[in-house]
Amino acid sequence: MFAADAVAKTSVAVVGGGWAGCAAAIALAKSGHAVTVFESTRNLGGRARGVQLDGRMLDNGQHILLGAYRDSLALMRTVGIDTDEVLLRLPLQMRYPPGSGGMDFAAPRLPAPLHMVIALLRAAGLTRADKMALARFSTTARWMEWRMHNDCSVSELLERYDQTERLTKLMWRPLCLAALNTPPERASAQVFLNVLRDSLGARRAASDMLLPRVNLTELFPQHAARFIGQYQGQVRYGANVGAITRNGDGWRVTLSGEQAPQQDFDCIVLATPVAQTAALLDGLIDSSALGDFSYEPITTCYLRYAPDLRLPLPFFALIDDAAAGDWGQFVFDRGQLDASQGGILSVVVSAASDAVAQDQGELAQAIAAQLAKTLRMPQLAQPLWSKVVSEKRATFACTPGLIRPANDVGLPGLAIAGDYTQSDYPATLEAAVRSGLAAARQILEPADEETEEQS
Ligand SMILES: Cc1cc2nc3c(=O)[nH]c(=O)nc-3n(C[C@H](O)[C@H](O)[C@H](O)COP(=O)(O)OP(=O)(O)OC[C@H]3O[C@@H](n4cnc5c(N)ncnc54)[C@H](O)[C@@H]3O)c2cc1C
């Protein structure tokens, strides 16, 4: 991917230490460049980071990766992470608690497409019409090569493919919310198809669901920081970049609120969220070139019970109905991922603008009551402790035809990176990592050409 220890050493500033910034910094450092990461907070990880709650490390939000996250998994291995150890690999599944009115769909460990066929035949809680609709969907999507001439909403796509109400409710809507963090009525059918192509439509391992066994900082950013250091790079924490300006052929980085706030670099990667990137590029480019994004929140509710409490599975899908106070869409048993978290459940609400508007204590109580009822475990109604964590700008709303900017915004020696740049994928860890790697390639290209000329 990137040649190690390239000859020409270029100094590169990477602004923002989320997964995109880490990916760019790793690739650049590994190629022999002098990298400095500026991260405004005290930790790397950005929107996927560990947080101290109730005296232990939890996450700012429950995350799930897919076997299809090719570049994220490869990058984790590059920095020395044993992905089999830190991720619990489960076959593709959508399993609701028995008796909750849901379904039980789980792919066996067989080669594709047999895993899907058998999963479909065995699926409990679906009628023959639902199963036929699902089979028809995947055959037609495959035949169309997972491509639409004109993007539309996921709801329109499902209607066109004659998907049943029950299948939409139990399979497509939760998948769309989990993958795009946008309700099907407003979500991009093309991006949804891209995710399905690389998961349901690909080899079985790509469809696997991977659950972190360690907190998100420990999962990757911590190792990223160590790797960057090993390659003589530097990570500056609490370093909020207030401005960037041209300085000859290079770039000057000015920090906010310091005595000696300026440092000069040959090149720069802006791996900040799009709003901050637009502010930093104000006056350098027309900021409308970065696109026009709106955002969707995600709420994660942590509930703690006695340490020996255990759910029958590591995670379940839940039928949500906000009007009835049933907010939860997925519940994860953290104790089955990390033994030190026995008794802790995390419940996810995607596209959570209504949930964010609720009183946090009442929301946690409602979710606890939903779990007790749905899982038929009355003790779940009375958690010993609870905490609601809401990320208001968790991801951009992934709407039809959304225009996302390229890494190259036309400024020499500068690349932008982040989950919002051009990608097949919605705002995900994989989109962020791919974007960071693409930004690094853009920076590396001129240096590589020089190296070739010299040799
Ligand atoms: C609650 C939640 C749940 C999610 N669930 C999933 C999931 O299950 N699966 C999945 O794949 N994805 C999930 N995502 C999406 C995923 O976390 C993001 O797509 C990804 O983390 C974005 O990474 P990034 O590097 O592009 O941006 P960010 O993580 O936002 O990184 C930007 C960094 O820049 C720093 N910064 C900002 N301004 C400055 C400045 N001026 N100077 C210096 N530093 C600055 C920030 O502090 C931050 O560290 C979820 C997101 C959230 C919030």
- Which one of 428, 434, 435, 437 would you pick to mutate in the ligand 1 pocket, going by the greatest count of ligand atoms within 8 A of its CB? 428
Q: How many CB atoms lie within 10 A of CB 115?
A: 22
- Is 50 exceeded by the pLDDT of residue 259? yes
Q: What does the mean pLDDT of the chain come to?
A: 93
Indicate which atom in ligand 1 lies nearest the CA of residue 393. 53
Indicate which atom in ligand 1 lies nearest the CA of residue 62. 3
Q: Are 391 and 61 in contact (CB under 8 A)?
A: yes
- Is 60 exceeded by the pLDDT of residue 451? no
CATH 3.90.660.20 corresponds to the domain 295-396? yes
Span(s) in the chain for CATH 3.50.50.60: 11-84+215-293+401-454
Whether 20 lines ligand 1, by a CB cut-off of 6 Å, is: yes
- Is 70 exceeded by the pLDDT of residue 68? yes
Q: What is the pLDDT of residue 287?
A: 85
- 6 Cβ neighbours under 8 A, 6+ residues apart: 31, 32, 33, 444, 447, 448, 451
Indicate which atom in ligand 1 lies nearest the CA of residue 20. 25
d(CA 391, CA 8): 41
Predicted structure pTM score: 0.95
Whether 48 lines ligand 1, by a CB cut-off of 6 Å, is: yes
Q: What is the pLDDT of residue 25?
A: 98
Name the DSSP class of 168: I
- Compute the distance from residue 149 Cα to the ligand 1 centre, in Å: 31
d(CA 136, CA 221): 41
Predicted confidence band of residue 452 (pLDDT cuts 50, 70, 90): very low
What does the pLDDT look like over 347-405, one tens digit per residue? 999 999 999 999 999 999 999 999 999 999 999 999 999 999 999 999 999 999 999 99
- Compute the distance from residue 180 Cα to the ligand 1 centre, in Å: 15
In this structure, the residue with its CA closest to atom 10 of ligand 1 is: 428
- Which one of 272, 280, 396, 437 would you pick to mutate in the ligand 1 pocket, going by the greatest count of ligand atoms within 8 A of its CB? 272
Residue (of 300, 291, 293) closest to 405 by Cα position = 291
- Compute the distance from residue 207 Cα to the ligand 1 centre, in Å: 23
Span(s) in the chain for CATH 3.90.660.20: 295-396
CATH class for the domain made up of 11-84+215-293+401-454: alpha beta
Q: What is the pLDDT of residue 1?
A: 45
Q: Are 299 and 389 in contact (CB under 8 A)?
A: yes
Task: Compute the half-sphere exposure of residue 428: CA atoms within 13 Å on the CB side of its CA.
Answer: 28
d(CA 287, CA 281): 7
Predicted confidence band of residue 271 (pLDDT cuts 50, 70, 90): very high
Q: Are 94 and 113 in contact (CB under 8 A)?
A: no
- Is 80 exceeded by the pLDDT of residue 7? no
